[in-house]
Chains A and B, each alone.
Chain A
Amino acid sequence: MITETLTEQKVSFRPIAENEPEWLYDLRIRAWNYFQEAEMPSQVEHLWKYTKPKWFMPDGLEQKMSVLPVVSEIKDEEIAPLKPEFAAFGCNHGDRVTYTQLSDELKSSGIIFEDIQKAINNHGELVRKYLGQLIGYDFGKFEALNMALFNSGMFLYIPPDMELGKPIYMHRHPDDKYNMPRLLVIVGDNSRATIIDDYAGKSNDKPYNANSAVEIFGGQNSQIRFVSPQNLYKKSRSYVTQRARIGRHARMFSIFVSLGADVSKYNLGTILNGQGAYSQMLGILFGDDNQHFDHHTMHHHKAGESFSNIDFKVVLKDKALSAYTGLIKIDENTLNCEAFQENRNLLLNKGARAESIPELEILNDQVRCSHGATVGPIDPEMVFYLKSRGYSTDDAVRAIVTGFIEPLLKSVPDDLRQMMQNMVQFKLRNGTGE
C-alpha cells in the first residue's frame, strides 16, 4: 500500500508547456480551478461506497505542475522496427518517452497517430474539436485533475472509410513521474479498427498513482474493437475514466481485462448516440492478495433501436475485493432498445469479497432489458470431482476458473482470444508482479 499522507494541496496553476495553444491553456485553467474547488467525492454516493477518494490524490502536485511534457526526443534509429502483426505501434513509457509508428502503407493514408502533445501543436483544431467532449473538465474532481495536468498520451485519428486489417497497439506504461495520461481516439464514418490499449507496468517500478482519461469517438457505421488489458504494477493505484460515443449503426466491441494495481477505480462507459448503434462489453477481472477493484460500467442509450450487452466476470482469491456497479440508462424517446447486463463473481476462498450492484434508469417501456448478478464461492464438490479424476487441487481450481471465463472468451473474436487467454492463464499461474 502507498502511504496515505497527502492532504489536498493548494497550488497555483501555471502552464504545463509554454508553447501550448491558448485554448488548451484556458481549458487547463478551468479544469484546475474546478479541481481546486470541487469537493472530494462523498463516500455516501454509491460510486464511492467502497473506495476512498483520497487514495487517488497524488503526492507532490507542486512538482507535477513543473514537469513539462517532453515531446518525443527519441531518435528513429533507437526505435525497434514495427512488428508485422500491427498496423501501428505507440509507446508511452517511463521518462515520458513517447513514440508512435505507422506501417509504411498507412503513412500517407491520412491516419494521424501521435504523441498527444505533438498532435496539439500539429493538429490543434482537430484535437480541440474532440478533447474533453466526453470527459470534460467538469466531469468530476479527478477528471478535472487529468485535464489540468495531463502530460502525456496519444492521439489517434482514423479518417472515414478506412479498414485496418491489423490492430493498432498502444503500450502505455505509467510510472512514478509519468502518470497523467490521456488518450483521444477518433474513428471516422464507415471505418474499422482494432485498438489494443495495453496499460501495464513492470514490477520494479516505484509506487505511483496514475490518473488516465480515455475518450473514443466512433463515427456512423464505424466498427471499433477496443481491448484494454490492465496489468499495472501491484503497488500502484489506478484511476481510469473511459468514455466512448458511437454513432448511427456503429459497432463498438470493448474488452477489459483487470489484473494489476493495488487499488483501481474504473469508470467505463459507452454512449449509443445513433439509431441502431451496437455495443458489446466484456470484462474479466482476476484479483488476488489484497487487491482492491472498483469498476463501474455504463451503457447509455441515446438513440432508438440500439443494442448493448455487458458480461463482466470476476474471480477473486486471497483477500481481494471487487465492487462492480453496472448502469443501463435508456432515454425517454429512444424506443426499441435492447440492453443486457450480467456480472458473475467467483470467490476462490473465504477472505475474498465481491459486491455487485446493477442499476437501471429506463425512461420508456418499449425496451428489452435484463440484468443478472451472482456472487458465489467455488464449489468444493466440483473440486472433488476433478480431484477424483487425478487433477491436483491447484489444477482443479484453475480448470474451474478457466471454465468460468470460457463462455466469455468464446464471444471474443478469434484473433484476440489467444491474447486474452494468455493473460488470464499467466495471472492464474503467477499472480501479478510484486
Chain B
Amino acid sequence: MSDKKTIFSFSDIHVEVEGKEVVKGVSLDIKAGEIHAVMGPNGSGKSSLANALAGHPSYEITGGKAIIDGQDLLEMDATERALAGLFLAFQYPLAIPGVTVANFLRAAVKARHAGDEEALRSFRKDLKEKFKLLEVDQSFATRYVNDGFSGGEKKRLEILQMAMLDPKIGILDETDSGLDIDALKVVSKGINSVASDKNGMLLVTHYQRILDYIKPDKVHVMMNGKFVLEGGPELALELEEKGYDWLKAENQQAVEV
C-alpha cells in the first residue's frame, strides 16, 4: 500500500463561509486505490470541506495546501479542478431546467476528456452502459438534469456522472442521504465500479450504513471543523454503535483542558 502514489492530498486546510471559520485545519492523504470516509455529526464542517475542495465560490479556503495528482488544486477554479480530475457528488444536486441529461453529459465528457476522440466516439455506448449499471431507464437521457427528479434519481445521476467522467478523486457528499436500502445498494455498486487502483474516493457521510457496501481504508471523524479521530473501518462501526456524543464530550474536554 505504502508504495502507491498519492493521488489527492491536502494539509492544514482552513475554510471560511461568510467570514466564519468552519474548517479549522484538516489534513489527509489519499493514495491511488484508497477509499477514505469522513464522518461526523451535522454541522461539523464535512460538507463545507467537500464544497471548498471543489471550488465553490462561497467557501473560501483561507489556509493550507491541496494537491491533486501532483497539481496545486488551490490555484484552480472549479472548472479547472473538474478538468484536473476532481469530482464532487453533490448532497443537493441542482436542477438545470431545459438541459437534457445527454447534452449535459456530452458537454462534460467533452470538456473532461478534451482531445480524447475515443471517449467521445464511445459516448453513447458508455452512457447506455452506465444507465444499466445505475439501473435507470433510458428515458433519463432526454429528461432535464435533475428537474423533477426524486431524491434517489438525483443521487443515481450524480454517480452516473462520476462514472462517465472517470475522475482521479471522487468526493461524495452525503450521497447516501435520502436513499432507501435498494437505491443505496445500487448507488454503492456504482461507486465501487468507479473506484479503482487509479483513483481515490472520499466519502463524506453522517451514517456508517453506506460503509456496509463500500469498504473504506481509512475513516476520519470530523467535529467542529477538525479531524478528531482517525482509524480503520472498525471506527465506523464503533461510531454507529456509540453515536457522536461521547466524542463531543471528549472533544469538549480537550478544548477546555
Residues of A within 8 A of B (CB): 379-382, 384-393, 395, 399-400, 402-407
Contact = CB atoms under 8 A, between A and B. Distances in A.
Contacts of A387: 55, 77-79, 82
B88 A388 contact: yes
A392 B54 CA distance: 14
21 contacts: A380-B57, A384-B78, A387-B55, A387-B77, A387-B79, A388-B78, A388-B81, A388-B82, A389-B82, A389-B112, A391-B79, A393-B79, A395-B111, A399-B96, A399-B104, A402-B98, A403-B97, A403-B144, A404-B98, A405-B98, A407-B97
B90 interface: yes
Given A384-B57, A384-B78, A390 B94 contact: no
Given A389-B107, A399-B104, A406-B99, 10 more contacts: A380-B57, A384-B56, A387-B79, A388-B54, A388-B88, A390-B107, A399-B107, A402-B99, A403-B98, A403-B99
Interface in B31-81: 54-58, 77-79, 81
Interface of B: 54-58, 77-79, 81-83, 87-88, 90, 93-94, 96-99, 104, 107-108, 111-112, 144, 161, 165
Contact of B97 (A380, A385, A389, A404): A404
A381 B51 CA distance: 11
A390 B112 contact: yes
Contact of B96 (A380, A392, A395, A400): A400
Nearest to A396: B79
A380 B94 CA distance: 11
Nearest to B92: A381
A404 B147 CA distance: 12
B61 to A, nearest CB: 15
A390 B57 contact: no
Residue of A382, A387, A393 ringed by the most chain B CB atoms within 10 A: A387
Residue of B55, B87, B111 ringed by the most chain A CB atoms within 10 A: B111
Contacts of A384: 55-57, 78
Contact of A385 (B81, B83, B96, B112): B96
A391 B111 contact: yes
Contacts of B99: 399-400, 402-403, 406
Residue of A386, A388, A407 ringed by the most chain B CB atoms within 10 A: A388
B104 A389 contact: yes
Contacts of A381: 94
Contacts of A385: 90, 93-94, 96
Nearest to A407: B98
Contacts of B144: 403, 406
A389 B90 CA distance: 11
A382 B79 contact: no
Contact of B108 (A379, A391, A393, A403): A391
Nearest to B82: A390
Given A384-B57, A403-B144, A389 B98 contact: no
Contacts of B108: 389-391
Contacts of B97: 403-404, 406-407
Which 5 pairs across A and B sit closest by C-beta, in order of nearness? A403-B98, A406-B98, A390-B111, A387-B78, A385-B94
Contacts of A404: 97-98
B241 to A, nearest CB: 35
A400 B99 CA distance: 8
A331 B188 CA distance: 61
B144 to A, nearest CB: 7
A310 B98 CA distance: 19
Contacts of A392: 79, 111
Contacts of A405: 98
Contacts of B83: 390
Contacts of A380: 57-58
Nearest to A399: B99
B20 to A, nearest CB: 19
A420 to B, nearest CB: 14
A68 B144 CA distance: 55
A26 to B, nearest CB: 52
A384 to B, nearest CB: 5
A400 B93 CA distance: 15
A95 to B, nearest CB: 42
A374 to B, nearest CB: 12
A380 B112 CA distance: 21
Contacts of B56: 384
Given A390-B83, A403-B144, A382 B94 contact: yes
Contacts of A393: 79
Residue of B104, B112, B165 ringed by the most chain A CB atoms within 10 A: B104
Contacts of B55: 384, 387-388
A380 B56 CA distance: 10
Contacts of A402: 98-99
B161 A389 contact: yes
A393 B97 CA distance: 17
A395 B99 CA distance: 12
Nearest to B79: A387
